[in-house]
Amino acid sequence: MTSVGDSINAENASWTFDGEIVSSFEEHVSKSVPYYKDGHKLICSISDFFIVGESICYELGCSTGLLSYKLAKHHGVSKGRFVGIDSVSKMIEYARKNYSRENLEFQYEDALTFPYEQTDYVVCYYMLQFVHPSVRQEVVNKIYSSLRWGGGFICFEKVRAPDARFQDINALLYNDFKIDKGYTPEEIVAKSRSLKGILEPFSTQGNLDLFRRAGFRDICSVFKYLCFEGFLCIK
């Protein structure tokens, strides 16, 4: 096993969100994804335009439950019901233990097969990129179908650049970002190798096509930093 930083070890093409990563996940992802916590704040602020009364809000791929907890706390017990969904049982166990609230529940489920109720707000925060491309469209189709008219789907993703030159620029600047966060070049390479075949980002246009095929017509980019982008889609 090779260190990828933050007391996490992984081998080539073997990245997993299970096991030892659970306890270190929040530290690791906040150092690995630019403006990670700022993205949380933005998603909570945008939710004000969609969550009313008895609204249901889903976060798919909620991991430790931190963002779901922030959303539930942001709105309080008088408005909305919040559901965090993840397919890793240890993440759900962690979330239930550390982020319990009256208006929040966590479900150990697969986003592809979960029986959604009608919802006003769905969040995928760096989640779709880990869904295999062969079924990614099906997940977005289910999200679109579950939304009420006027509901919002907010999706943050790592994105590929539109051509090779921009891809090289973004990749090298992102490596600089991780070095500034304290990761060694060896850890950066080990992390990249561990994600082969597991993290499969689409380009900005690829994501827009994904959303439009599902039925979304009103789409706006609400965040962009190098190879990281946030989209707001309204049904």
3 state SS of 148 = strand
The answer to whether 81 and 72 are in contact (CB under 8 A) is: no
The answer to whether 45 and 232 are in contact (CB under 8 A) is: no
Q: What are phi and psi of 9, to 5 degrees?
A: -120, 145
Other residues' Cβ atoms within 10 Å of the Cβ of residue 209: 13
Name the β-bridge partners of 219: 233
Query: What tokens does 135 get?
Result: 């079924």
Q: What is the pLDDT of residue 135?
A: 97
Total residue count of the chain as it appears in this document: 235
Name the β-bridge partners of 228: 158, 225
The superfamily (CATH) of domain 2-234 is: Vaccinia Virus protein VP39 (3.40.50.150)
What is the chain's pLDDT, residue by residue, as a tens digit (235 residues)?
A: 788 888 888 889 888 888 878 989 999 999 999 999 999 999 999 999 999 988 999 999 999 999 999 999 999 888 899 999 999 999 999 999 999 999 999 999 999 999 999 999 999 999 999 999 999 999 999 999 999 999 999 999 999 999 999 999 999 999 999 999 999 999 999 999 999 999 999 999 999 999 999 999 999 999 999 999 999 999 9
Q: What is the pLDDT of residue 203?
A: 97
Name the β-bridge partners of 56: 81
3 state SS of 143 = helix
Domain ranges of the chain: 2-234
CA–CA dist 72, 187 (Å, integer)? 35
pTM of the model: 0.95
The answer to whether 192 and 160 are in contact (CB under 8 A) is: no
The answer to whether 1 and 9 are in contact (CB under 8 A) is: yes
Say which amino acid occupies 162.
P
The answer to whether 183 and 6 are in contact (CB under 8 A) is: no
